[in-house]
Amino acid sequence: MLELQNVSFEVEGENKKKEILRNINLTVDHTKFIAVTGPNGGGKSTLAKLIVGIEKPTMGKILFDGVDITQMSITERARAGISFAFQQPVRFKGVTVKDLIMLAAGKENKLTIAGACEYLSEVGLCARDYINREVDTSLSGGELKRIEIATVMARASKLSVFDEPEAGIDLWSFNNLIDVFERLYQEQKRSIMIISHQERILNIADEIVVIANGTIQAIGKKDEILPELLSGTSSCRYYQKREV
């Protein structure tokens, strides 16, 4: 279980400190699918970076399975069971898809090449065509997204965090990603957190968190929050519906 207790984050501005997040209290139970949405600049991606350890909170605590991970590095959090998929996946010249997936799985899992190929098939890629390709500029945005999700599946983390996985991909790839997320959640029975504006992603989540102006504006079950988001009423007035 992930717990954020009174978490705040600020950065140095030109003349004074700028507050990005303020007093965030959030609990993500095991085997939950959480979607985090809200306007651009509201603090969504910063929240993801705080959870995975790219940034450290200015105030407050972050607990994972009861352990204080507030000052842990991104590597330490990965070992504890937290994975992160970037909005723009990283390219690695000289590293093959096979190397990346097997590295994600870890030596202790002893993943075979056949196993790596299965993960590629799960995300809709022909293993024969991709397993030995380099993770470089020859891959499209949609291909990179799916390969990154394959590495997350291989990692089998307790909590997987995705930052706007729909960014920069075509409609066909996006439709396939929806199916992948549903399978990832249903088959692995682990927690997923996705930062997204997309209604179709929000619609497959268990709970929705709305962040704007650095604070949580609304939080609750999908059936409670999504109608307000789409109508622009109540505390969800900051939401803007977007389509791919």
HEC states along the chain? CEEEEEEEEEEECCCCEEEEEEEEEEEECCCCEEEEECCCCCCHHHHHHHHHCCCCCCEEEEEECCEECCCCCHHHHHHHCEEEECCCCCCEEEEEHHHHHHHHHCHHHCCCHHHHHHHHHHCCCCHHHHCCCEECCCCCHHHHHHHHHHHHHHHCCCEEEEECCCCCCCHHHHHHHHHHHHHHHHHHCCEEEEECCEHHHHCCCCEEEEEECCEEEEEEEHHHHHHHHHHCCHHHCCCCCECC
Q: What is the pLDDT of residue 168?
A: 67
Q: What is the pLDDT of residue 22?
A: 95
Higher pLDDT, 230 or 210: 210
Q: What is the pLDDT of residue 121?
A: 86
Higher pLDDT, 70 or 176: 70
The model's confidence at residue 182, banded by pLDDT at 50, 70 and 90, is confident
Residue 35 and residue 160: Cα distance in Å, rounded?
12
Buried b (16+ CB within 10 A) or exposed e, 182-205: eebbeebebbbbbbbbbbebbebb
Q: What is the pLDDT of residue 212?
A: 93
Q: What is the pLDDT of residue 192?
A: 92
Residue 8 and residue 50: Cα distance in Å, rounded?
10
- Per-residue pLDDT, averaged over 10-33, amounts to 88
The mean pLDDT value of the chain amounts to: 85
- Per-residue pLDDT, averaged over 8-22, amounts to 87
Tens-digit pLDDT profile for residues 82-128: 998 876 667 777 889 888 888 888 877 678 888 888 888 888 888 88
Q: What is the pLDDT of residue 55?
A: 94
Q: What is the pLDDT of residue 241?
A: 42
Residue 196 and residue 190: Cα distance in Å, rounded?
19
- Per-residue pLDDT, averaged over 173-196, amounts to 82
The model's confidence at residue 242, banded by pLDDT at 50, 70 and 90, is very low
Q: Is the pLDDT of residue 237 over 60?
A: no
The model's confidence at residue 232, banded by pLDDT at 50, 70 and 90, is low
Least reliable range by pLDDT among 56-60, 77-81, 148-152: 148-152
Higher pLDDT, 213 or 243: 213
Q: What is the pLDDT of residue 50?
A: 96
